Structure 1
Amino acid sequence: MRKVKKRYYFMLLLLPFLYMEFKGFVNVLGYCEKKDANISQLYSEQELIDRAIKFLLTISPSTQVTVEGRRLHIIPYKTVEEFKKINPNCCSVERTAHEGFTQYLSIRKQGKSYGYVHIAYLLNYEEDVEPSKFGLILEFDTCGEMSYFSQ
């Protein structure tokens, strides 16, 4: 009888752990709990790229300082369409930030990291200066929310 009770209590203690592991597993596969759908059902690859560009437009700086200390004023992109017109083939959606990198499993299990949008674009200046190429990686979670990627 005592053995049965111990097994019963052990199973009761094990159930929450198993539930959390299952929940983490579905997050790793791209499930968004807030929207009760998988990320592939919520957004196409192009929609993720558009969301990333829109996010980039909100965080882009207005000036850049050169190595010589000269301050250059950046001409901001007004819309996602303008950005894509000036920077065709600018973006790709990847499962990793770069080769050999894997986000911590604990972060992926929480749904805070699912993939990355790689963006390569031109910075145009108000001054008579040659545009410069710039690259950026934005991380997105299982619900498609973007954040700036840093290691």
Structure 2
Amino acid sequence: MRKVKKRYYFMLLLLPFLHMEFKGFVNVLGYCEKKDANISQLYTEQELIDRAIEFLLIGFPKVGSTPEGRDLHIIPYKTVEEFKKINPNCCSVQDSAYDGFVQDLSIRKQGKSYGYVHMTYFFFYKEEGIPPEKWSELIEFDTCGDMSYPIRTGW
């Protein structure tokens, strides 16, 4: 009788752990609990790219500087369409930030990271004689398609 009781308690303690592991597993596969759907049902790749461009434009810098300390004024993009027109084939959606890197499993299990939008685009300056600069960034998104901090890979 005592063995049965111990097994019962053990199973009772094990159930919450198994439940959390199952939830983590479905998050890794792209399930968004808030919207009760998989990310592939919520957004196409193009919609994720457009969301990432919008996210980028919100915090787009207005001033850059040269190594000598001279301020350069950056011409901001006005719309997502303008950004895509000037930077065709700028963006792609991938599951890793770069070769060999995938976000930590504990973060993926929480649904806080699912993939990345890789972006390559140009900065144009208001000052005469300054050529445009090519920049690249990674914008991480979660299982609900919410964008998070950019990881700058080129300045």
TM range (shorter): over 0.9
What is aligned with 1:56? Answer: 56
Q: Does 1:66 align with 2:66?
A: yes
What is aligned with 1:130? Answer: 131
Q: How much has 1:62 moved relative to structure 2?
A: 0.4
CA distance in 2, matches of 1:3, 1:147: 50
Alignment gaps of 5+ in structure 1: none
Query: TM-score, normalization: structure 2?
Result: 0.95
CA distance in 2, matches of 1:150, 1:45: 19
Q: Does 1:77 align with 2:69?
A: no
Q: Does 1:26 align with 2:20?
A: no
Q: Residues 39-54 of structure 1: matches in 2 within 5 Å?
A: 39-54=39-54
The question of whether the paired residues in 1 share the 8 Å contact of 2:137 and 2:151 is answered with no
CA distance in 2, matches of 1:78, 1:149: 19
| Residues 66-86 of structure 1, C-alpha deviations (whole Å, 9 max, x = no match) | 112110000000000000000
SS at match of 2:92: strand
Name segments (4+ residues, structure 1) moved above 6 Å: none
What is aligned with 2:13? Answer: 13
Q: How much has 1:119 moved relative to structure 2?
A: 0.3
Residues matched between the structures, number: 151
Percent of residue pairs bearing the same amino acid type: 75
* Aligned residue identity for 1:9: Y
CA distance in 2, matches of 1:57, 1:3: 63
CA distance in 2, matches of 1:48, 1:150: 16
Q: Does 1:145 align with 2:146?
A: yes
| Residues 103-137 of structure 1, C-alpha deviations (whole Å, 9 max, x = no match) | 10000000000000000000011111111100000
* Aligned residue identity for 1:113: S
Alignment gaps of 5+ in structure 2: none
Which is worse superposed, 122-131 or 106-115? 122-131
CA distance in 1, matches of 2:62, 2:37: 37
Q: CA RMSD in A?
A: 1.0
